């Protein structure tokens, strides 16, 4: 029997952490993720977990703490946002290259500058090539569920990679929603124990972690990381299937909403999917064949699966809540367009960068984008591919 509650996304992630009872948490505050270590600190103070709660002087140090703990054979977690993730940047690469399955709760917030504390995906997207698995949530429920699934994914012997569980700052992190929680014993059993094969405190098999990698070995180790990311794909689906048996909640690489006969579609990540879903329902009621794909797993990128979901569409708009400053589009667009390239018959694709610094995304905006797709289908002319929407001059 599940527990019905009303929690914010930050509370939900801290609750999942309590149920997991990790060995170490590296803790440093930054808006809007501060509440996660704050709630968890109360669990520590109340004796509800056995976690070593390490308060440090920066996010760089909180990730260093996690790396040391995980290398020693423990389970380590942390939480951060925005410039905190940027300050960890060096250590993100260290964690993944050392194959340490740390779990990080990333509460997405715009990167400076100018300084802004509201939501977009520029922080995690800036770290997209750091070798971390990245899983995104639309709702508080998904943030909780994703966090419970993170460790069975990252700690799998075929994977052994760190996992970043992302949710939208303030929109889900501070917004309170109805949520279904697992009982503590079921959550603990689902996540399981961490049993690394090699670790620093295993006296019978001493090893070094993070040594200098000379030219003769560095590339081979990078290829091993790349192969591990490939291996994560079936593991993600396997863990999701086990979670569905336990909860009835189904997860995959993405949600394909009303895509069976869709002629035009939006592709996007995170809480904006709720607005897009409402727009799809509105336009479907008017007889229009529209759909939406909400990406959940960005790393590893589900290239073949996404292409299959979009192949019958005539036109697709990919929505990025982050700038790439590539002069060619945002990060999700680059990946999605690449996925479509090998199709024999592929939809025309355009990109909209939207929602930067917390700018609103409304049904009217989504409906306008669908209207632009209709025009592309009618005229056969894609027009400008790389676009912005929601800024004042439009």
Instruction: List per-residue pLDDT tens for the chain, 394 residues long.
Output: 689 999 999 999 999 999 999 999 999 999 999 999 999 999 999 999 999 999 999 999 999 999 999 999 999 999 999 999 999 999 999 999 999 999 999 999 999 989 999 999 999 999 999 999 999 999 999 999 999 999 999 999 999 999 999 999 999 999 999 999 999 999 999 999 999 999 999 989 888 888 899 999 999 999 999 999 999 999 999 999 999 999 999 999 999 999 999 999 999 999 999 999 999 999 999 999 999 999 999 999 999 999 999 999 999 999 999 999 999 999 999 999 999 999 999 999 999 999 999 999 999 999 999 999 999 999 999 999 999 999 997 5
Containing structural domain, residue 78: 3-247
H or E stretch at 256:
strand 254-257
Domain assignment of residue 394, yes or no: no
Look up residue 357 and give its DSSP letter: G
Residue 319 lies in a domain: yes
Helix (H, G, I), strand (E, B) or coil at 195: coil
- How many distinct structural domains can be found in the chain? 2
Kindly state whether residues 110 and 29 are assigned to the same domain: yes
Q: Are residues 208 and 317 in the same domain?
A: no
Please check whether residue 38 is in contact with residue 29, taking contact to mean a CB–CB distance below 8 angstroms.
Answer: yes
Longest dimension (CA), the chain: 70
Residues 95, 64 share a domain: yes
Q: What are phi and psi of 391, to 5 degrees?
A: -75, 160
Are the C-beta atoms of residues 54 and 68 closer than 8 Å to each other? no
Domain match, 76 and 141 both? yes
Please check whether residue 306 lies inside any domain of the structure. Answer: yes
Strand partners, 79: 105
Consecutive H or E run containing 5? strand 3-8
Cα–Cα distance measured from residue 328 to residue 193, given in angstroms and rounded to the nearest whole number: 45
Nearest CA to 122 among 328, 320, 329, 388? 320
CB 100 within 8 A of CB 67: yes
Q: What CATH number has the domain bearing residue 308? A: 3.40.50.920
Say how far apart CA 213 and CA 272 lie, in whole Å: 42
């Amino acid at each position: 029997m599940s527990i019905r509650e009303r929690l914010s996304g930050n509370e939900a992630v801290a609750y999942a952490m309590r149920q997991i009872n990790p060995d170490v948490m590296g803790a440093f505050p930054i808006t809007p993720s501060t509440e996660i270590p704050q709630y968890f600190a109360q669990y520590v103070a109340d004796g509800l977990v056995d976690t070593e709660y390490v308060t440090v002087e920066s996010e760089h140090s909180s990730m260093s703490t996690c790396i040391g703990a995980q290398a020693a054979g423990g389970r380590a977690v942390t939480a951060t946002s925005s410039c905190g993730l940027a300050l960890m940047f060096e250590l993100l690469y260290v964690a993944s290259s050392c194959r340490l399955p740390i779990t990080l709760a990333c509460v997405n917030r715009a990167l400076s500058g100018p300084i802004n504390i509201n939501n977009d995906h520029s922080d995690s997207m800036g770290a997209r090539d750091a070798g971390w698995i990245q899983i995104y949530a639309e709702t508080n429920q998904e943030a909780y569920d994703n966090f419970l699934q993170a460790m069975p994914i990252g700690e799998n012997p075929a994977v052994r990679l760190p996992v970043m569980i992302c949710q939208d700052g303030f929109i889900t992190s501070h917004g309170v929603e109805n949520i279904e929680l697992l009982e503590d014993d079921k959550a603990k059993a689902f996540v399981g124990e961490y049993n690394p094969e090699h670790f620093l405190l295993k006296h019978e098999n001493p090893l070094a972690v993070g040594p200098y990698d000379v030219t003769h070995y560095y590339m081979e180790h990078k290829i091993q990381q790349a192969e591990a990311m490939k291996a994560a794909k079936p593991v993600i689906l396997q863990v999701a299937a086990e979670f569905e048996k336990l909860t009835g909640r189904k997860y995959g690489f993405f949600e394909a909403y009303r895509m069976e006969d869709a002629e035009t579609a939006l592709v996007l990540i995170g809480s904006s999917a709720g607005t897009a879903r409402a727009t799809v329902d509105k336009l479907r009621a008017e007889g229009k064949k529209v759909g939406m794909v909400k990406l959940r797993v960005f790393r590893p990128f589900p290239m073949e699966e996404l292409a299959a979901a979009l192949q019958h569409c005539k036109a697709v708009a990919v929505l990025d809540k982050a700038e790439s400053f590539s002069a060619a589009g945002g990060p999700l667009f680059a990946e999605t367009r690449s996925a479509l390239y090998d199709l024999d018959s592929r939809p025309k694709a355009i990109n909209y960068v939207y929602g930067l610094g917390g700018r609103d995304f409304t049904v009217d905006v989504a409906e306008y984008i669908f209207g632009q797709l209709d025009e592309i289908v009618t005229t056969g002319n894609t027009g400008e591919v790389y676009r912005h929407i929601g800024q004042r001059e439009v």
